[in-house]
Amino acid sequence: MSGHWRFLRQAVDLAAGNVACGGGPFAAVIVRDGQVIATGCNRVAASLDPTAHAEILAIREACRQLGDFQLRGCTLYSSCEPCPMCLGAVYWARLAEVYFACTRSDAAEAGFDDGFIYAELARPAADRRIAMRHLPLTAAVRPFRAWAEWADRTAY
Amino acid sequence: MSGHWRFLRQAVDLAAGNVACGGGPFAAVIVRDGQVIATGCNRVAASLDPTAHAEILAIREACRQLGDFQLRGCTLYSSCEPCPMCLGAVYWARLAEVYFACTRSDAAEAGFDDGFIYAELARPAADRRIAMRHLPLTAAVRPFRAWAEWADRTAY
């Protein structure tokens, strides 16, 4: 079994085990240079945190391990195709690549909203089920101006 | 100044102030029944956590305050249009509506990747800059089967 299949299988096994621990059926493993540096299991209901998806927790843990807010050169193995929230996190963390076992359709069949959220993000803001409204405050640009003028800023 | 403009202005003011505290130029406020129940300021570089966007932190704090992993009836005010990660979190938290001051184009001009990530999510997985690969493990459905059979599961 090649490395990719082995690490992905580890994520699937963690996901199956997480259900019996009060978690959702999702897990993720982050690997660098052939070594697992972090794992994460879905804890949404268990920790009353809608952002506690497996991939988010694994990314946060990997960053703690490496002392960095970026994970260049790392690979994410997820038991299921990442939802838009987690995919966004993958981009912000600048992971190198992602492998997944189940798809968003499998997740939808199991009762999870991943496919619905992908469809919503593809719609114009005004047509979404959750209303998104742009209010053009005159003060809106102040934070970005302060940022541009802040000499000690860390770009990311 | 109507409530919506006032709460949004509060988010913008928090975002501007956050820069001087070592944070990114973003903040968010969550309101229920006319009361602020949580705020969040970007702490990505400060806490070495790529998921520490203002909206994510505000959502997590609001859930702690309410003791729930859903925020039905709550409104999010964000100094800037939420990125795909945060928009995903908005859906998972089931917020009622979102108001924002700056747009993803303003964020791009200030050097942030929001627009790029929106464009990436709209592409087929195979055409993305971060490779996403589906490996159809035979064990892949085990977690969802365990979930379906788990009597004490909390649907979300």
Residues 70-129 of A with CB under 8 A from B: 70-71, 79-81, 83-103, 106-107, 109-111, 113, 116-118, 120-122
CB contact under 8 A, B85 and A84: yes
Helix ranges restricted to H, chain A: 3-19, 44-47, 54-66, 84-93, 104-109, 114-122, 142-149
Q: What chain B residue is nearest to A115 in terms of C-alpha separation?
A: B88
Catalytic status, residue A97: no
The mean pLDDT of chain B is 94
Question: 0.90 cut: is pTM over it?
Answer: yes
Residue B1 has pLDDT above 60, yes or no: no
Summarize pLDDT for A9-42 with one digit per residue, the tens: 999 999 999 998 989 999 999 999 999 999 999 9
CB contact under 8 A, B113 and A92: yes
- pLDDT for B151 equals 76
Residue A151: pLDDT band by 50, 70, 90 thresholds?
Answer: confident
What is this model's ipTM? 0.95
Catalytic residue among A55, A61, A81, A97: A55
- pLDDT for B46 equals 93
String of DSSP letters for B60-119: HHHHHHHTSS--TT-EEEEEEPPPHHHHHHHHHHT-SEEEEEE-HHHHHHTT--HHHHHH
Nearest CA-CA distance, residue A25 and chain B, Å: 5
Nearest CA-CA distance, residue B97 and chain A, Å: 5
Q: What percent of chain A shows pLDDT beyond 90?
A: 87
The dihedrals phi and psi of A79, each to the nearest 5 degrees, come to -65, -20
Summarize pLDDT for B2-52 with one digit per residue, the tens: 899 999 999 999 999 999 898 999 999 999 999 999 999 999 999 999 999
C-alpha–C-alpha distance, residues B91 and A12, integer Å: 25
